[in-house]
Amino acid sequence: MKKTVLVVVATAVLVSACTTTDPYTGDQKISNTAAGVGLGALAGAGVGLLAGGNDRRNALIGAGIGALAGGAIGATMDQNEAELRRQLEGTGVSVTRTGDQIILNMPSDITFNVDQDAVKPGFYPVLNSVALVLKKFKQTTVDVFGHTDSTGSAEYNFDLSQRRALAVANYLSGQGVDSRRFAVTGFGKTRPIASNATTEGRAQNRRVEIQLSPLT
């Protein structure tokens, strides 16, 4: 299946993004290669997401960003967490720590208008704060996940979740965060965190998540 998405990095480029199916979960997702083309197309040769997790890691280390090891892993993620909590307090974005990973949950009602994939201008300052932290602590990879509620078709929700995740990643890249750190995945309605039977539950399920992992 082919998706055509509009990605902006300093200016607009049109890319045709191939989607793939996870062999373990059956989830559809944008391929890492396609995401990298969109995020890094105008940043120069060799810049942009490569084909897989090891390629992303190798590209960053090859660019001179040192990998973390031993006690430095936990210490660096502790610093990331503390700074993110300070920057995002009172914004409506939650910060969750799971082991050495940090997840930022961005509810769609504060991030996007209904059925739209353009980030609300009022949310720019929040993403600017996230970008400041990402640029300060460069030794992390950044996965951006898009999710929807169960309203509408699977195809529609997958496409919307993918475009919203791309919009967030693209905005952060536009603020100077190295695009090689990003991977973008749209999950549609396949990963709810609350019941879709209630208005409140559906609101929780409509979200974009940013997952930070240490570069090791």
pLDDT (tens digit per residue) in 37-61: 343 333 332 223 333 567 888 889 8
Model confidence, pTM = 0.77
C-beta of residue 215 within 8 angstroms of C-beta of residue 183? no
> Average pLDDT of 53-77?
88
Please state, in angstroms and rounded to a whole number, the distance separating the CA atoms of residues 140 and 119.
23
For residue 180, give the DSSP letter.
Answer: G
pLDDT for 52: 53
| Superfamily of the domain at 2-214 | OmpA-like domain (3.30.1330.60)
Please state, in angstroms and rounded to a whole number, the distance separating the CA atoms of residues 205 and 178.
28
